[in-house]
Amino acid sequence: MTNIAFFPIPLLFLLLTACASEVPAENHDTEVMLRNEALPIITNVKTNFPEKEGWIIVPTDSTELNVTVESTNAETLLFWAVPTGTETWGERELIGYDINEDDGWKITWDIAGKSLHHHVIVQALGSDGKTITDETIKITNE
């Protein structure tokens, strides 16, 4: 009878010891913090044309579209033009990329003679080589 009452006490002690250990929690918190520091972040995307009701309005006779981006923790920025519509990612066109943050993240897209009704998707590839984030702007001719 004494053996049955004695068994739950060591089990309870082991459980409490395992739950009170702080070493795995410290490692986990450090890992999460490092991972978040490496995440690329796009804070702003601007063009050389005005925005109206969520669309960048590009005059029909324009020849260049300048896109500038503010981003942190990025190694490379890719700039894609995707026609507006459903399931059009397969019709995307790489309109430029930038690998030099020193002069600012930017591209100039030759739009002479193009009819525009697109999404410009900016993808920031993380400096860790594993993460990616994106931001979309909508452009159209007027």
Mean pLDDT, the chain, rounded, equals 84
pLDDT at 142: 87
pLDDT at 51: 96
DSSP letters, 64-85, are EEEEEEEEESEEEEEEEEEESS
**Residue range 103-130: average pLDDT?**
94
pTM for the model stands at 0.73
Confidence of residue 23 (pLDDT cuts 50, 70, 90): very low
Per-residue model confidence as pLDDT tens digits over 52-95: 999 999 999 999 999 999 999 999 999 999 999 999 999 999 99
Topology given in CATH for the domain delimited by 40-141: Coagulation Factor XIII; Chain A, domain 1 (2.70.50)
**Phi and psi based region of residue 85 (left: phi greater than 0; alpha: psi -120 to 50; beta: remaining):** left
pLDDT at 30: 45
Confidence of residue 9 (pLDDT cuts 50, 70, 90): low
With 70 as the cut, is the pLDDT of residue 18 above it?
A: no
